[in-house]
Amino acid sequence: MVYPISKLLFLPLLRVIIKRVKGVENVPPKTPFIVVANHEHHLDHLLVGYLIISKLNRKVHFISVPLFWFAKTKIYSKWAGTILLFDPKQAYQGAKKVIESGGIVGIFPEGILERKDRKENPKTGAVRLALETRTPILPMGIRFSSKPFSSTINIGKLIHIKNKKNIKKQTLDLLKSTYELRDELS
């Protein structure tokens, strides 16, 4: 239900915000994947969601910390397609179920918003999920601007994580790649 409403309400608005999208050809049309992006604004998930909905007509299930009372309800979670992060293990299992059913999971390794401490110590769930489910990661760099036609998204090539050693370093490298993608469009 949320995606038909989102298409009517948010897609026209988001078209006004986005200036440029580069790398759309890297988005797999039918297979499951994990979107990993930098997170510098509260609307980043809408930009990524808009991109996937408008190009593939598929929704992204973001792992989300519920910041408002209504976002803490199971009804809202189901309606919005979010994977609520009350308990990290439970959220991880929810993300795994989405992948196993052929869906798309969205993860911001920095957590709630880009923070200096998370640049050196990001969450490793995306890499662990990719390893366990053998699902590729689609890196994205987002540069958000509240000015019309100013936000940009740069989509990298799919990354296949195969090495189970040094997950933290792989996560740092992945996060660094999202910053590089973002900065390429500056």
The string of DSSP codes covering 9-37 is: HHHHHHHHHEEEEE-GGGS-SSS-EEEEE
Assign residue 61 the CATH number of its domain: 3.40.1130.10
Residue 56: CB atoms within 10 Å: 15
| pLDDT number for residue 124 | 87
Domain span holding position 64: 2-184
The yes-or-no verdict on residue 114 having pLDDT over 60 is no
* 133 has a pLDDT exceeding 90: yes
Backbone conformation region of residue 59, classed left if phi is above 0, alpha if psi is from -120 to 50, else beta: beta
The predicted pLDDT at position 117 comes to: 46
> Given a cut of 90, is residue 132 above it in pLDDT?
yes
The CA-CA-CA angle for residues 174, 177, 181, to 5°, reads 145
In the predicted structure, residue 115 carries a pLDDT above the cut 60: no
Residues 45-103 have pLDDT tens digits of 666 776 676 677 788 888 777 655 444 555 555 555 667 667 778 888 989 999 999 99
* Single pTM value for the model: 0.82
What was the pLDDT predicted at 152? 81
What does the pLDDT average to over 142-161? 82
More confident residue, 104 or 144: 104
Q: Quote the longest CA-to-CA distance of the chain.
A: 45
pLDDT at 67: 55
At 134, give phi and psi (nearest 5°): 55, 45
pLDDT digits (tens, 9 = 90+) for 27-46: 998 999 999 988 776 666 66
pLDDT exceeds cutoff 90 at 26: yes
Query: How far from 182 is each of 42, 54, 89, CA to CA, in Å?
Result: 16, 21, 30
Instruction: Count the helix, strand and coil residues of the chain and give each as a percent rounded to the nearest 5.
Output: 45, 20, 35
What is the number of structural domains in the chain?
1
Q: Is 45 helix (H, G, I), strand (E, B) or coil?
A: helix
Instruction: Give the three-state DSSP class for 151.
Output: strand
Residue 155: helix, strand or coil by DSSP?
strand
Q: In the prediction, which pLDDT does 1 show? A: 39
